[in-house]
Amino acid sequence: MNRRKRSTSSPRMSADQRRTSILKSTIACISKFGFWGFTIRDVAEAEGMTEAGLLYYFKSKEELLVKTLEYADIINAEAIAKRLGISEETDISDGLCYHGNFSLKTLTTATVEVNVSRPQLVSLYIVLQGESLEDKHPAHQFFLDREQKVLHDYAYVAKRDRLENPDRIALQTLSAMDGLQLRWLTGGKTMDFVDEWKRFINIIIPD
């Protein structure tokens, strides 16, 4: 019995459209089963294609994982940039922190607002981040690098805000966000994540 329903999407896609569709299906599969639990077959069935057909686009499960995480980071950053009012033409690959004068409160609140609208992506990150604590996990280095980048960006903005000890503020902010996100997901998303975050960030950074 298939674990996922077959996709009803049109098979007539360009190569780029098919890759994007595969990545979206992979996000759904990993969010549900984790990296160790999902299979190439799960994604192929979701796409209405064969495993061999999927492996034409991504050569291995490990490559598919890395490309999925990279894709998730890109679409997440673009959504946050839009909420911050950053032009769509702006190249934000070097980091959102360099493209505006927004405060750390504004940046993190925009991040939470985007995350609330995309629970599947939040679930993807939380599931894989937990699994990747094992150094043999293919996403282990990705999450180490990602955490350092987020901490750098938060510290950069905290310094721009002239906050005392920006590195500590960045660490406290990221830790609080990770904790609230986990509580939000495990609580069935009934908690008002945005409201709780605004209260929490005001404790970390009083007016």
pTM (two decimals):
0.87
Q: What percent of the chain has pLDDT over 70?
A: 95
Which residue carries 């990296």 as its tokens?
A: 35
Report pLDDT digits (tens) over 10-24: 468 899 999 999 999
**Which pLDDT does position 13 carry in this prediction?**
87
List the one residue out of 90, 84, 97 whose CA is nearest residue 154. 97
Distances (CA, A) of 60 to 73, 107, 121: 20, 36, 22
Report pLDDT digits (tens) over 37-93: 999 999 999 999 999 999 999 999 999 999 999 999 999 999 999 999 999 999 999
**What CATH topology corresponds to 1-59?**
Arc Repressor Mutant, subunit A (1.10.10)
Q: Which residues contact 61 (CB under 8 A, 6 or more apart)?
A: 39, 40
Residue 206 pLDDT exceeds 60: yes
Tell me the C-alpha distance between 197 and 167, whole Å: 19
Domain range annotation of the chain: 1-59, 68-204
